[in-house]
Copies of this chain bind each other. A is one copy, B any other.
Amino acid sequence: MKSISLPLNNHSSSRKFLDLCVNNIPETNSYQARTSHRIFHKKQALYSVGDTFEGIFILRSGSAKSFITTIGGEEHITKFFYPGDLLGIDGFDAHSHAQNLHFLETSSVYFLKKSDINGLVKTSDDFRDCLLQSISHAMVCDMSMMMYLSMCSSEQRLARFILDLSMQFAERGLSAKDLLLSMSRTEIANYLGMAIETVSRILSNFQQRGIVDVKHRSLTILNFETLNRCAPNGLSSHVSRIEKSPKKEAVCH
């Protein structure tokens, strides 16, 4: 499978992040150079729940999923990752990882150990801003996901998923319409909180309506217009604010 990797001409914040790390950490010895880049294969784990937190990773190429497991053994996929994404932020909490991370295909990561993070945060304003921005952005995305899960129909969630994927691909310099899914139907269903049969049915339905063309794991978006109408409404941003609820009027003491 052709994997995604971060193109050099990508100036998004994730790319900037990677640059900042690579250019600011003094790689005095070749040992560090060797260990800061690692390659993993499909189904391999980067970390698992309970592993000691040693630092974060930046995905350079390939794709991955993070998931949590209940005591009963059920898994729930919490996120899919693409090049430029930060992996392992969950480890800051208890100094050990709270999630599992597995790769979906052959992938490479850049390792940024805790001491390097601490150093960079002090010395580089850009790095600090980038790190906080990146984490904050991830949280904002999680909030949207929670909204989709709690307010949208299965069709809306799947439409949103495809459109989000398309955006992710486009941001990384790939086609926005020809997508190569790196996850199985089961994984999509699990992530979106629906039965695998439902994913299959909705995809077939989209196909019949001429919205997409799906064959195995390659998906072509034929009609963005209609797909967008299937997806839930976007979030309101400051642009669309008209009237506002009771404004801040603090009482100082």
Contact = CB atoms under 8 A, between A and B. Distances in A.
Nearest to A122: B122
Determine the interface band of chain A, counting residues with CB < 8 A from chain B.
35 or more
B145 A237 contact: no
Nearest to A117: B132
B45 A248 contact: yes
A44 interface: yes
Contact of A92 (B34, B135, B147): B135
B237 A49 contact: yes
Interface string A87-101: 001111110101110
A26 interface: no
Nearest to A35: B252
Given A140-B90, A241-B50, A78 B147 contact: yes
Contacts of A170: none
Interface string A32-55: 001101111001111111110000
Contact of A139 (B89, B102, B149, B232): B89
A238 B70 contact: no
Interface of A: 34-35, 37-40, 43-51, 68-74, 76, 78, 89-94, 96, 98-100, 102, 118, 121-122, 125, 128-129, 132-133, 135-140, 142-147, 149-151, 191-194, 232-241, 244-253
